[in-house]
Amino acid sequence: MQIIDLDQTDLRQANAQLQNQNTATKLTAWQILNPKGAHAIAVGLDAPIDVTVEGSTGYYCAGMNKQARLRINGSVGPGVAENMMSGTVIIEGDASQYAGATGHGGLLVIKGNASSRCGISMKGIDIVVHGNIGHMSAFMGQSGTMVVCGDAGEALGDSLYEAKLFVRGAVKSLGADCIEKEMRPKDLAEVQALLERAESTAKPSEFKRYGSARKLYNFDVDHAGDY
């Protein structure tokens, strides 16, 4: 186990050490101590390593992650796992705004609540939130899957493309062009698989599916009021 104590190690140095690992690295287990809300912890990783952060982080933790598996034993500030490409990021606490924004791949798990704009412009990332999500989540989501075990805030999935949304609790309101859709057997299977990977015991049958009505893809003067 490689231990980096941020009380003793400069953040840039810590990130450089993590970023220097490659696919063949033998140093696969890392622990980061005393994050104390610092920004940009463990960003830009690109190696199959396990990183545990012992405490809460500030902005952009695990941004641009590739391959690495991160677990944050605390809460995270805005922009966690922003633009993630692959790998896994698990947050034991809550996440602030725009968690997983623009993510292309990988799995982001938030065991507490996520606030506004969760999964905004998601492009292939899978996101599982054990608690609730805030307003404008999955705005302009292009692909990927979001599973929410709690409630969703206002304007869920506004201007949605092909991201798939599953919510177990109440949805305060749906955004423009987002509609409820039928839960098919393959959707149940997909939700089941994601819940298992996200360490959740929720039942897939309790979720509702939401997706794009596909009316806003191209400009249509009849829909001018919806844009």
Partner 1 sequence: MCGIVGLFLKDPSLEAALGRMLTDMLVTMSDRGPDSAGIAIYSEAVEDRAKITIQSAHPDQDFAALEADFKSTFQQSLALQRKNSHAVFEIAQNQVGELRARIRRAHPGIRVMSTGDNIEIYKDIGLPKSVAERFDIPLMKGTHGIGHTRMATESAVTTMGAHPFNTGPDQCLVHNGSLSNHNSLRRQLQREGVVIETENDTEVGAAYLTWKMQNGSSLGEALQSSLDDLDGFFTFVVGTKDGFGVLRDPIACKPAVMAETDQYVAFGSEYRALVNLPGIADAHIWEPEPATVYFWTH
Residue 58 or residue 211: which is nearer to partner 1 going by CB?
Answer: 58
- Asked if 82 and 102 touch (Cβ cutoff 8 Å), the reply is yes
Residue 6 or residue 125: which is nearer to partner 1 going by CB?
Answer: 6
Closest CA to 178 of 224, 205, 139, 148: 139
Return the biggest CA–CA distance within the chain: 61
Please report how close the Cβ of residue 73 comes to partner 1 at its closest, in angstroms.
11
Please report how close the Cβ of residue 55 comes to partner 1 at its closest, in angstroms.
8
> Which residue blocks in the chain are alpha helix, DSSP H?
11-19, 185-197
Judged by the rule CB under 8 A, the positions of this chain that interact with partner 1 are 36-38, 56-59, 75, 77-78, 93-94, 96-97, 115-116, 134-135
Residue 154 or residue 226: which is nearer to partner 1 going by CB?
Answer: 154
3-state DSSP helix/strand/coil percent for the chain, to nearest 5?
A: 15, 25, 60
Query: Both tokens of residue 186?
Result: 């393959």
Please report how close the Cβ of residue 115 comes to partner 1 at its closest, in angstroms.
5
What Rg value do the Cα atoms of the chain yield, rounded?
Answer: 18
Residue 148 or residue 194: which is nearer to partner 1 going by CB?
Answer: 148
Please report how close the Cβ of residue 38 comes to partner 1 at its closest, in angstroms.
7
Residue 11 or residue 179: which is nearer to partner 1 going by CB?
Answer: 11
Please report how close the Cβ of residue 145 comes to partner 1 at its closest, in angstroms.
24
CA distance 24 to 80: 26
DSSP state letters, 53-108: EES---TTTTTT-BS-EEEESS-B-TTTTTT--SSEEEESS-B-TTTTTT--SSEE
Give 51: exposed, middle or buried? Use CB within 10 Å, 0-12, 13-18, 19+: buried
Residue 77 or residue 144: which is nearer to partner 1 going by CB?
Answer: 77
Residue 106 or residue 153: which is nearer to partner 1 going by CB?
Answer: 153
Q: Kindly state the DSSP code that residue 203 receives in the 8-state scheme.
A: -
